Amino acid sequence: MRTTTPSRTRLRIAGALAALLVGAGLATGPAAQAKEKPPTLAELAQRHGRYFGSATDNPELTDGAYTALLGSEFDMITPGNGMKWYATEPEQGVFDWTKGDEIVNLARRNHQRVRAHTLVWHSQLPNWLTSRDWTPDELRAVLKKHITTEVRHYRGKVYSWDVVNEAFNEDGTYRETIWYKTLGPGYIADALRWAHQADPHAKLYLNDYNIEGTGPKSDAYYRLAQDLEAQGVPLDGIGLQAHLALQYGYPSTLQDNLRRFSRLGLDTALTEVDVRMQLPVTDEKSAQQATWYRDLTEACLAVRRCVGITVWDYTDKYSWIPAFFPGEGAALPWDEQLRPKPAYFALREALGGK
């Protein structure tokens, strides 16, 4: 007959306890740590007091694998189209919140915040708005009603609004939009005031592309921000879209530009980030793209009031780039099969992850 020594008994008891600890997720040894899920981009950004977000759009919300990653990797969501004027007020005075609500509700289920986008823009306007002439009084009333109604609908449900989108030309002059031509430059201050009245707690932004570096266009926003501050107009931040392209060079003055807006007491955010390239993809281009994503992130982290980064959707599968820039693409940190690319690992590295 086999006998069990006290030492063997102790070993068996220790082994059983270890198994119980591992099963309960309480073990802390190397084997258990190897199974721990690595932190997400959002969790890494939160360590720096920032958010890391993604845009999304309603058609792709039927893709289960896509929405699973969208819901787990990010802590801020931007509706790519669902809150724009053509979607929310397709007929004058008739409002449709279906698309915006779908994304807000998705974000709430995933414990994510929402950057609402956008109230005043020259593009994607409904035909009823663009097919006729308006007097200044008429258009002002239409604009006020739209802003007030939409912001009130989402009051308490969104973190911020891109109130006015793409108001300037590349040379720093005002873009000749329906709003500017009919109402003059004062429409921007009015829009900000109306949005603040409708939701005093939402952060209010001006948002544009090609303002990442210092230059005529970003200078125009800097002057406008100064003027709005002098008038007491509510403005919380400047959104730098950061739609970049490898062939045009990196905005080397980004960090300085972020810092000068912060000196005005404004937050900044990188709001629509993608880094496109001329196809086909090569290892060299992918490495350069990764470096740019790292540099963008490090620039934001270096400026205290740069509050977060949003990629303009996270996967090449749903990128807007190929449709608008033929022959270009591969702009996002995940590929079309939702596999992370070098850019993703560069983001992790910049945020202090592995």
CA-based nearest residue to 45, from 316, 270, 236, 272: 270
Residue 166 a catalytic site member: yes
> Are 278 and 317 in contact, with CB atoms under 8 Å apart?
no
Active site (annotated) includes residue 170: no
E strand residue ranges, 196-323: 203-208, 237-240, 243-245, 267-278, 306-311
DSSP letters for 320-354: SHHHHSTTEE--SSB-TTS-B-HHHHHHHHHTT--
What's the gap between Cα 259 and its chain centre? 19
Structure tokens at 272: 């629509």
Q: What are the beta bridge partners of residue 310?
A: 53
CA–CA dist 92, 283 (Å, integer): 51
Rg of the Cα atoms in the chain:
24
Of these residues, 73, 89, 166, 212, which one is catalytic?
A: 166
Catalytic residue among 73, 89, 150, 272: 272
Contact 54, 74 (CB under 8 A): yes
Phi-psi region of 221 (alpha: psi -120 to 50; beta: other; left: phi over 0): alpha
Locus of tokens 């949003």? 310
Please give the Cα distance from 235 to 206 (Å, whole number).
8
Sign for the pseudo-dihedral over CA of 72, 74, 78, 80: negative
Catalytically active residues are: 166, 272
